[in-house]
Chains A and B, each alone.
Chain A
Amino acid sequence: MEGLHHDTILEPSATDSDKKKGDPKLEEKEKALPNQESAEDFSTSSANQSLSAEDKVDLYEKMLRIRRFEERSLRSYQQGHIGGFLHLYIGQEAVAVGSVSMLGEDDHVITAYRDHGHALAVGMDFDECMAELYGKKTGCSKGKGGSMHFFAPDKNYWGGHGIVGGQTPLGLGIAFALKYNNKKGSCLCFMGDGATNQGPFYESLNLASLWNLPVVYIIENNGYSMGTAESRHSAGDPLARRGDAFDIDWSVSNGHDIYEVRQTISDALASAHENCRPSVLEIVTYRYRGHSVADPDQTYRSKEEIEEYKTNKDPLNLFREKLIKEGNITEDQIKTIDNRAKGDADASAEFADASPYPDPSELMDDIYWETDNPDKKTSQGTMFFETPA
């Protein structure tokens, strides 16, 4: 899809061929990506061949549930129930669900601020997530983290991090701890294309390769670093090639095909598990909504561009069509799954709405382990210098 990952709106009068001529990176990217006309069929590849019909329907349902949850959260935001930022993942669902579906007991996940999809993919439930968005006591972080900071360490899910690229060394540390403890595991560290220009990412790549750490950096390239198109934010293409500088295996793959995502992750996990080697995976995807919902979204890309993706590459539509064609899902099932997702999303909004806000006294909880565990306190002295009345 030409133009997708490049700024088309700045030169509205340019013809398609002009655009292509003016943007050499696009041609390179297209070379790196599998040709769409003869796109490889990953449905029977090693990562997918043993999937049962039930497994496949489950993958579809997980993707759909993320979308319905986020659509509901958008309504709640518009109704004024949710404050701050709301970075929606809609359009990218196959990446989180496909990736997480490949993970084993000692595989871990960390991501950036567009984290609802990954959180739901690892199994966090609608209610705790929606309540967190509402800033309620029943939220997954008791209303202290918000949209960008969902965590579930019991599900090997380490957030949810707000500073672009700031999670890249943390993912490295998770991989370090796994190796230190002789676990045959890995850490999938998700990031956006914009994060590839932050220094700590390169420092992390250097250490990952130098120390042979089982970390998989997944660049979810949705084409835009907030409102800045890839062609305006990054020199050198594809982005994943930057792994070359550190002797790290890299690849570019499609994010709209969940089978392809699973195969890509499967290969990287094998490298992490068997050889303790890192990978850099650029998975090309697209977000339908703005950077956050407060984003005007019309200054840097066209409606046509968004529509084109929705029409031709929507990961849910494509997968649903495949499942129908494969005879793995019925129209009735599709309806049931959708109704359940919508119903659960509505119910989570009701749950969040009915939940209490945290008490002002809870401002002082969860800051230090020690102040939360006064019976095991070893330090003395004053820890806080202004507290609620």
Chain B
Amino acid sequence: MAIITYREALNQALSEEIERDNNVVLLGEEVAQFKGSYKVSEGMLEKFGADRVIDTPISEAAFSGLAVGAAMMGMRPVVEFMFWSFCYVAFDQIFNNAASVRYMSGGLINVPIVFRGPANGGTNVGATHSHTPENFAANTPGLKVICPATPADAKGMLKAAIRDNDPVCVMENTILYNMKDEVPDDPDFIIPLGKANILKEGNDMSIIAHGKAVHTSLEVAQTLEEKHNISVEVLDLRSIRPLDVDAIIKTVKKTNRVLLVEENKPFCGVDAQIAFLIQDQAFDYLDAPIKRVSAIDAPQAYSKALENVQIPAHDRILAKAMELI
């Protein structure tokens, strides 16, 4: 098992799947010659050629729709969005065509496609480049949505997504691209979609998070243990749809107190659904109201001074956790 970055883990997943299956291609803006806007596809053009690693014009609606059409024909395209924020100009292709063709054809047509790229704030790029559309995508039956938070998950879940016969939206995070961790070398290393992961066990409180919020939550858990003697369990959802409801209910029943943390905006955000599920399925196990920390409910701000306040940070999460005790 090697220690590699989240970025390299994605590269391995893409390379291994392109090597494994001739139907897999990677296409998007700057993925080939430029080696990827975030260097995720570095070296892949040289290795696999321009038929498999394909530079597109800045034309998200056309290349997303092209990939959906090719997937309907049996290919397995991986579409890279430079930012998931840019999917908004291709909304119809993803949310109508990729998501609905199977249903509207009575199951005659499959769309084995992956849409992937970073979906995060925190890099001072302003409102148009900082969207976190995992809640939009998960609100659309027909799409699957995952938010891997570690290098190993990035590899294992992207591989699972490429092998999946349904459309999968893979939401990454530019801030995690340099994160290093152990990642299995096995070319068949797969992490199934819909399986949450307990990153830290605890007894007094559960923090449930996804994406980069998982790492902030782990830091808060450490503070709570060291400074307040509170034992915290941290559950990384990893996958939004399918959702590991059993793991959520299990940790709530164990600790009886729950804090939900996400970098998604609050209204109709992912954690709104999770909070509903907990009260619906584990109400009698709750010793306190469910608490929640999300991004501050404003368009994503440019200035560091503002964005640092906006994204759930250690102290804001800690303060909310203390309300639970």
Q: How far is the CB of A65 from chain B (nearest CB, A)?
A: 23
Give B193-212 as 1s and 0s: 1 = Cβ < 8 Å from A's Cβ atoms: 11110000000000000000
Interface check A372, CB cutoff 8 A: yes
Interface residues of A (CB under 8 A from B): 110, 139-145, 149, 151-153, 158-163, 166, 168-178, 180, 187, 199-200, 203-204, 206-207, 210, 365-370, 372-373, 378-385
A365 B107 Cβ-Cβ under 8 A:
yes
B70 A141 Cβ-Cβ under 8 A:
no
Residue of A nearest to B277 (CB): A385
Bound form: Cα–Cα A366–B100 in Å: 9
Interface check B321, CB cutoff 8 A: no
B104 A385 Cβ-Cβ under 8 A:
no
Bound form: Cα–Cα A101–B107 in Å: 27
Residues in B whose Cβ lies below 8 Å from that of A160: 104-105
Interface check B92, CB cutoff 8 A: yes
A166 B97 Cβ-Cβ under 8 A:
yes
Q: List 15 A-B contacts (CB under 8 A).
A: A145-B104, A149-B105, A151-B101, A162-B96, A174-B69, A180-B51, A204-B65, A365-B107, A368-B144, A379-B164, A381-B193, A381-B243, A381-B246, A382-B243, A385-B277
Bound form: Cα–Cα A169–B62 in Å: 5
Bound form: Cα–Cα A369–B168 in Å: 12
Interface check B290, CB cutoff 8 A: no
**Contacts A210-B57, A369-B165, A381-B195; A177 near B75 (Cβ below 8 A):** yes
Residues in B whose Cβ lies below 8 Å from that of A379: 144, 160, 164, 192-195, 239, 242
**Contacts A174-B69, A210-B57, A369-B165; A151 near B97 (Cβ below 8 A):** no
Cross-chain contact of B108 among A153, A173, A365 (Cβ < 8 A) = A153
Cross-chain contact of A158 among B103, B109, B144 (Cβ < 8 A) = B109
Residues in B whose Cβ lies below 8 Å from that of A370: 164-166
Cross-chain contact of B65 among A180, A200, A367, A384 (Cβ < 8 A) = A200
Residues in B whose Cβ lies below 8 Å from that of A142: 106-107
Give B47-58 as 1s and 0s: 1 = Cβ < 8 Å from A's Cβ atoms: 000010000110
Cross-chain contact of A381 among B92, B109, B245 (Cβ < 8 A) = B245
B62 A145 Cβ-Cβ under 8 A:
no
Residues in A whose Cβ lies below 8 Å from that of B110: 369
Bound form: Cα–Cα A373–B112 in Å: 14
Cross-chain contact of B70 among A166, A176, A378 (Cβ < 8 A) = A176
List B residues 142-194 near A (Cβ within 8 Å): 142, 144, 160, 163-166, 190, 192-194
Residues in A whose Cβ lies below 8 Å from that of B241: 383
Cross-chain contact of A380 among B66, B107, B242 (Cβ < 8 A) = B242
A159 B104 Cβ-Cβ under 8 A:
yes
Cross-chain contact of B61 among A162, A175, A199 (Cβ < 8 A) = A199
A180 B144 Cβ-Cβ under 8 A:
no
Q: How far is the CB of A132 from chain B (nearest CB, A)?
A: 9
Residues in B whose Cβ lies below 8 Å from that of A178: 73
Q: How far is the CB of B188 from chain A (nearest CB, A)?
A: 12
Residues in B whose Cβ lies below 8 Å from that of A176: 66, 69-70
Q: How far is the CB of A163 from chain B (nearest CB, A)?
A: 5
Residues in B whose Cβ lies below 8 Å from that of A172: 62, 65-66, 69
**Contacts A368-B142, A370-B165, A383-B241; A140 near B106 (Cβ below 8 A):** yes
Cross-chain contact of A169 among B93, B144, B165, B242 (Cβ < 8 A) = B93
Residues in A whose Cβ lies below 8 Å from that of B245: 381-382
Interface check B64, CB cutoff 8 A: yes
Q: How far is the CB of A310 from chain B (nearest CB, A)?
A: 33
B92 A163 Cβ-Cβ under 8 A:
yes
Give B74-112 as 1s and 0s: 1 = Cβ < 8 Å from A's Cβ atoms: 110000000000000000110011000111111111101
Query: Which of B104, B245, B277 has the most C-beta atoms of chain A within 10 angstroms of its own C-beta?
Result: B104
B96 A166 Cβ-Cβ under 8 A:
yes
Residues in B whose Cβ lies below 8 Å from that of A383: 194, 241-242
Residue of A nearest to B74 (CB): A177
Residues in A whose Cβ lies below 8 Å from that of B103: 144, 366-367
Residues in B whose Cβ lies below 8 Å from that of A163: 92, 96
Q: How far is the CB of B224 from chain A (nearest CB, A)?
A: 28
Give B226-250 as 1s and 0s: 1 = Cβ < 8 Å from A's Cβ atoms: 0000000000000101111110000
Residues in A whose Cβ lies below 8 Å from that of B239: 379, 381
Residues in B whose Cβ lies below 8 Å from that of A180: 25, 51, 70, 75
List 8 tightest A-B contacts by C-beta distance, closest first. Answer: A173-B69, A169-B65, A381-B194, A203-B62, A381-B242, A366-B107, A177-B73, A142-B106
Bound form: Cα–Cα A176–B67 in Å: 9
Bound form: Cα–Cα A331–B104 in Å: 42
Bound form: Cα–Cα A114–B24 in Å: 33
Residues in B whose Cβ lies below 8 Å from that of A206: 57, 59, 62
Interface check B141, CB cutoff 8 A: yes
Residues in A whose Cβ lies below 8 Å from that of B195: 379-381
Interface check B68, CB cutoff 8 A: yes
Q: How far is the CB of B255 from chain A (nearest CB, A)?
A: 21
7 further A-B pairs in the complex, CB-CB below 8 A; given A144-B105, A170-B69, A369-B165: A149-B104, A174-B69, A180-B70, A366-B102, A369-B166, A381-B244, A381-B246
**Contacts A142-B107, A384-B141; A170 near B97 (Cβ below 8 A):** yes
Cross-chain contact of A174 among B73, B93, B102, B112 (Cβ < 8 A) = B73
Cross-chain contact of B72 among A149, A158, A367 (Cβ < 8 A) = A158
Interface check B71, CB cutoff 8 A: yes
B102 A367 Cβ-Cβ under 8 A:
yes
Residues in A whose Cβ lies below 8 Å from that of B64: 169
Q: How far is the CB of B208 from chain A (nearest CB, A)?
A: 14
Interface check B63, CB cutoff 8 A: yes
Q: How far is the CB of B280 from chain A (nearest CB, A)?
A: 10
Residue of A nearest to B146 (CB): A379
Bound form: Cα–Cα A139–B106 in Å: 9
Query: Which of A142, A206, A382, A384 has the most C-beta atoms of chain B within 10 angstroms of its own C-beta?
Result: A382
Residues in B whose Cβ lies below 8 Å from that of A153: 72, 105, 108-109
B73 A173 Cβ-Cβ under 8 A:
yes
